[in-house]
Amino acid sequence: MDQAQSLREYMNRHHLQQEKTQPARMITITSGKGGVGKSNFTLNLALALKSIGKKVVILDLDLSTANIDILMGTTASGNSLADVLHQRKYLFDCLEKGSGGIDYLAGGLEMQELLEIDQEKLLFFMNQIQELNTYADFILLDTGAGISNVLVHFILASDETILVTTPEPTAIADSYAVLKTVRQFTTQVPQFRLVVNRARSYREAVDTSRVLKTASNDFLKMSLKTLGFLMEDIHVQKAVRLQTPFYLSYPHCEAAKNIKQIMYSFLPGNEMNTSTPIKGVRGFFEKMLSLRKSW
């Protein structure tokens, strides 16, 4: 990148920072088990949001099977949040450009690293993260599947969590396990919204949603909101094989229409809900650090 381009990007970021009045909203996207289409959902939701002018950054935090770049058919440079944490790179040097101009960044670090670094590195890291806070409208955290202490604290530190499941009984059971485990960690009811993926019919999607919502309400005293449904669509697998997001390669397919519906359902709850203050990126990491005491 030449100096002129670097200067233009800096000026663009500075201009965005002056215009933005709200911090980026941190959204954790997770699932009870692997193979339910969580990363594909994350990527295509990001593209839908970008199509209406929202600035979105994906943090690929699934350390075991990080695959956002594979789904886009791109080759990541290997830069990650770990490089920022250890002062090897500036944050904006690590951002990658993917399909449709989506910004994404690999996590590349265990949260334990963040909790054990010295004060100088922590200050540098937090200042870098603050730039991302004013750069984007939404930060989508694509986490690993399953339940762990780290995931629980990601969820508790986020502004909101989207839980992706499928109608398979094992996926439903594992999704409930995520809700139950998180509920055990806090007296406050965390905000979850449910997406049912790969439903073979609208009836199957509704039934899946009803099972989880009823169990959450009866046994966990949680009101689980349904964000939307994604129907089984052959174009999704075609897009995966082409390594192109289906929202771009098959914009008129049923899955793309479903993503649009989910996106429009998603926006009002994030932008019009003034009762819950947005913590933003810096608030997210500060919360993560404060939760360390309870581990």
Does residue 106 lie in a domain region?
yes
pLDDT band at 197 (very low <50, low <70, confident <90, very high): very high
The whole-angstrom separation of Cα 279 and Cα 282 is 7
Task: Please list, in sequence order, all residues whose beta carbon lies within 8 angstroms of the beta carbon of residue 171, skipping any fewer than 6 positions away.
Answer: 31, 32, 33, 36, 165
Does residue 229 lie in a domain region?
yes
The whole-angstrom separation of Cα 155 and Cα 260 is 24
Does residue 16 lie in a domain region?
no
The whole-angstrom separation of Cα 103 and Cα 94 is 10
Determine how β-strand 96-97 pairs with β-strand 103-106: antiparallel
In the predicted structure, residue 94 carries a pLDDT above the cut 60: yes
What does the DSSP assignment read for the chain?
--HHHHHHHHHHHHHHHHH--SPPEEEEEEESSTTSSHHHHHHHHHHHHHHTT--EEEEE--SSS--HHHHHT----S-BHHHHHTTSS-HHHH-EE-GGG-EEEE--S-HHHHHHS-HHHHHHHHHHHHHHHHH-SEEEEEPPSS--HHHHHHHHHSSEEEEEE-SSHHHHHHHHHHHHHHHHH-SS---EEEEEEEESSHHHHHHHHHHHHHHIIIII---PEEEEEEE--HHHHHHHHHTS-HHHHSTTSHHHHHHHHHHHHHHHHHHS--SS---HHHHHHHHHHHHGGG-
Does residue 18 lie in a domain region?
no
Q: What is the pLDDT of residue 274?
A: 43
Query: pLDDT tens digit string along 214-264?
Result: 999 999 999 999 999 999 999 999 999 999 999 999 999 999 999 999 999
Cα-based distances in Å from 283 to 51, 146, 192, 202, 257? 27, 24, 19, 38, 34
pLDDT band at 272 (very low <50, low <70, confident <90, very high): very low
Residue 259 near residue 45, CB atoms below 8 Å = yes
In the predicted structure, residue 1 carries a pLDDT above the cut 80: no
- Amino acid in position 156: L
Q: What is the pLDDT of residue 111?
A: 62
Share of the chain above pLDDT 70, in %: 82
Does residue 10 lie in a domain region?
no
Mean pLDDT computed over 139-163: 85
- Helix axes of 202-215 and 169-185: crossing angle, nearest 10 degrees: 30
Domain total of the chain:
1
Does residue 5 lie in a domain region?
no
Q: What is the pLDDT of residue 189?
A: 75
Does residue 92 lie in a domain region?
yes
Lowest mean pLDDT among 49-53, 95-99, 155-159, 236-240: 155-159
Encoding tokens for residue 159?
A: 């502004």
Of 24, 25, 40, which Cα lies nearest the Cα of 195?
40
Does residue 217 lie in a domain region?
yes
Q: What is the pLDDT of residue 60?
A: 86
In the predicted structure, residue 79 carries a pLDDT above the cut 90: no
pLDDT band at 32 (very low <50, low <70, confident <90, very high): very high
Domain range enclosing 104: 30-294
Mean pLDDT computed over 84-108: 88
- The pTM (predicted TM-score) of the whole model is 0.86
Q: What is the CATH number of the domain that holds 63?
A: 3.40.50.300
pLDDT band at 268 (very low <50, low <70, confident <90, very high): low
